[in-house]
Amino acid sequence: NATTTKKIMCLEMMQMSKIIVIDPGHGGTDPGAIGNGLREKDLTLDISKRTKKYLDDNYTDHKVILTRTNDKYLTLAERAAFANRNNADLFVSMHINAGGGTGYESFIHTNTQAATSGMQNIVHAEAIKEVKGTNRGKKRANFAVLRLTRMPAILPENLFIDRKEDAAKLKQSSFIDKVAKGHAEGIAKALGLKKKSTSSSSKPSKPSKPTTSTGKTYKVVKSIAGYVTAADTKARKNKKT
């Protein structure tokens, strides 16, 4: 009957819709890396919200879910479990780098499938078009959120918060828009999302200005508790190359 047919059509539409989980790194009691008056947890949330807005404004047949939408602390296991529970087609954990250096890089798990590597190639290429700067390459690491998720998972590192020149860019709303756009375009291309016939916006929204800590310039390397587990420490040491 008509009711049954409608239910089947709804189910088919749901199955066709891609689910994207974007994870703003750190949060709550874990600020992540800090430097040049910026906190990583604020930047990752801002970038994640703008990435979601850009995708929602410009593409169809998808659902974007954030692991956190405010300044909330989540364990690495909770972030991965959230993505697994929502049957995500792609998991993207946004981060800002620290520890000396400059530029953009992205990570996937060391023992990953070819499909994940292919998605990393696409997202990385689109992101670097907007972020520009030094391309530090596509890398692999045994990070917890990459290891514990059951779908393709990517962890981008967007510039270095403790480098004055990089931080200056991260303080610009227009640059955060570019970072969001690059990742959104990469995600859409990787998942084969369809563009809307008439886009309501060609730019990500501007949810909020990143909260600053102090105007003082200083370096703090990412806290291990907010980034990797004890089992990941070895892999973390090889990250900044």
Active site residues: 157
Contact indicator for 63, 20 with CB cutoff of 8 Å:
yes
Vertex 150 angle, CA 149 and 156, to 5°: 45
Q: Return d(Cα 3, Cα 147) in angstroms, integer.
A: 42
Coil vs helix vs strand at 237: helix
Q: 222-238: buried (b, 16+ CB within 10 Å) or exposed (e) per residue? A: bbeebbbbeebeebbee
Q: Is 225 helix (H, G, I), strand (E, B) or coil?
A: helix
* E strand segments, the chain: 18-24, 34-35, 38-39, 62-66, 90-97, 104-109, 135-141, 153-160
Phi, psi of 225 (to 5 degrees): -60, -30
Specify the residue for token string 């070895």: 234
Tokens standing for residue 50: 């703008």
Q: How far apart are CA 240 and CA 50, in angstroms?
A: 27
Cα-atom radius of gyration of the chain, to the nearest Å? 18
